[in-house]
Amino acid sequence: MKKRRITLIILFLYGIVTFMSLAQNKDIKIKGAKGEWSISNITPEQAYEKALIEAKFEALRQAGIDESINAINSLYSTSEGNDYTGISNIELGGEVIDFTVVDKKIEQEKGSKSDKLIAKVTINAVVRKYDKKRDSSFQIKIENLENSYKDGGSLTFSFTPHKAGYLKIFVFEDDKSGSVLYPNEYEKNILFEGGKKVKFPISREMDYSLAKIDNTKEVENNLLIFVYTKNDVPFYEKDINYHSVLNWIAKISPDERVEVRNLFQITKVNKK
């Protein structure tokens, strides 16, 4: 009888914890959220990216999160006039944790006598509403990162967390391909100590070498995303792209994480 009573108590407590977890984060399914962006001095693909962000905003509005929608877009204009697009940081009471593009098209602007074209995107999305806000005491400092590096150079920097936690670093190159910079084969996933500065690469066997993808370009733009969490949150996605990383971040409660983004260039070495 005692054994059964203990089992029932455990199941009851498990039910309470599960209910509390569900109560903290509410997922809302939104269908047919639309976004659009004018194709003016940008490529159709860039316009699609911006229209997708607008569609996410619309999904958030439909989910009842419209009091403080604002985006911090990491856009970087290159010498060729192109934008480094695709990354947005939405700081509000909820985020789009998953989405499916159900329609994308380019149409001529209605009522316009010009040839102005509009990129339109429609998505079905899952919006997660948060009860908790960011922990202002859970911060990180990234130092000694340059704005520009020469082709063939090496990336080094210092990382200092205010509190203990786990770090993931993602890097996106000019062609928008992504990879996990840390942890890696030689630098294992560890619990970092609060207040202790760590120089990267950590291992002497590692060299974060930088190489341009297209040697015909004078400049290429790269992006680093540092994600620091209170608990270890594995990243299992096989396809590492902007949206898969953003969706992974969004699934972590805001009081459990902090993100820092850094843009840098790789410039061509002019041979004499």
What CATH number is associated with residue 254? 2.60.40.2550
* 135 within a domain of the structure (yes/no): no
Per-residue pLDDT band for 110 (boundaries 50, 70, 90) equals confident
Q: Residue 188 belongs to what domain range?
A: 140-267
178 and 196 belong to one structural domain: yes
* 64 within a domain of the structure (yes/no): yes
What is the rounded distance in angstroms from the CA atom of residue 214 to the CA atom of residue 174?
9
125 and 147 belong to one structural domain: no
69 and 108 belong to one structural domain: yes
Q: Percent of the chain scored above 70 by pLDDT?
A: 79
38 and 76 belong to one structural domain: yes
196 and 222 belong to one structural domain: yes
Mean pLDDT highest for which of 103-107, 112-116, 238-242, 249-253? 103-107
Per-residue pLDDT band for 253 (boundaries 50, 70, 90) equals confident
Report whether pLDDT(210) > 50: yes
Strands 148-150 and 178-182: unpaired
The total number of structural domains in the chain stands at: 2
Cα–Cα distance list, 117 to 33, 38, 111, 112, 114 (Å): 20, 6, 12, 10, 9
Domain final position from 100, 130, 160: 130
125 and 181 belong to one structural domain: no
105 and 164 belong to one structural domain: no
The pTM (predicted TM-score) of the whole model is 0.69
Q: Name the residue with higher pLDDT: 242 or 184.
A: 184
Counting Cα atoms < 13 Å in the Cβ hemisphere of 97 gives: 20
Closest CA to 264 of 220, 199, 207: 220
162 and 254 belong to one structural domain: yes
Domain final position from 67, 98, 130: 130
Report whether pLDDT(9) > 60: no
* 10 within a domain of the structure (yes/no): no
* 12 within a domain of the structure (yes/no): no
Per-residue pLDDT band for 151 (boundaries 50, 70, 90) equals very high
Report whether pLDDT(102) > 80: yes
Which amino acid is located at 15 in the chain? G
What is the rounded distance in angstroms from the CA atom of residue 149 to the CA atom of residue 264?
8
Closest CA to 33 of 8, 3, 62, 68: 62
46 and 100 belong to one structural domain: yes
Give 234's contacts (C-beta < 8 A, 6+ positions apart).
Answer: none
Report whether pLDDT(196) > 90: yes
Q: Would you state the pLDDT for residue 137?
A: 94
Rounded mean pLDDT of 185-191?
Answer: 95
What is the rounded distance in angstroms from the CA atom of residue 172 to the CA atom of residue 177?
6
Tokens found for residue 194: 């609060």
Instruction: List pLDDT tens digits, range 165-175.
Output: 999 999 998 88
173 and 98 belong to one structural domain: no
* 11 within a domain of the structure (yes/no): no
Provide the 3-class DSSP secondary structure of residue 136.
coil
What is the rounded distance in angstroms from the CA atom of residue 256 to the CA atom of residue 258?
7
Q: Would you state the pLDDT for residue 92?
A: 57
In 46-192, beta strands by DSSP E: 71-73, 88-90, 94-108, 117-130, 140-143, 148-150, 154-155, 157-161, 166-172, 178-182
Rounded to the nearest integer, the mean pLDDT of the chain is: 80
Point out which residues pair with 226 in neighbouring strands.
Answer: 169, 260
Q: How many helices (H) and strands (E) does the chain have?
A: 3, 15
* 15 within a domain of the structure (yes/no): no
Q: Name the residue with higher pLDDT: 75 or 48.
A: 48
Per-residue pLDDT band for 245 (boundaries 50, 70, 90) equals confident
Domain final position from 130, 160, 193: 130
Instruction: List pLDDT tens digits, range 17-63.
Output: 333 343 456 789 999 999 999 998 888 888 898 899 889 889 988 98
Alpha helix (H) residue ranges in the chain: 2-24, 44-62, 242-250
Report whether pLDDT(189) > 90: yes
What is the rounded distance in angstroms from the CA atom of residue 156 to the CA atom of residue 208?
7
80 and 183 belong to one structural domain: no
Per-residue pLDDT band for 66 (boundaries 50, 70, 90) equals low
Per-residue pLDDT band for 192 (boundaries 50, 70, 90) equals very high
122 and 174 belong to one structural domain: no
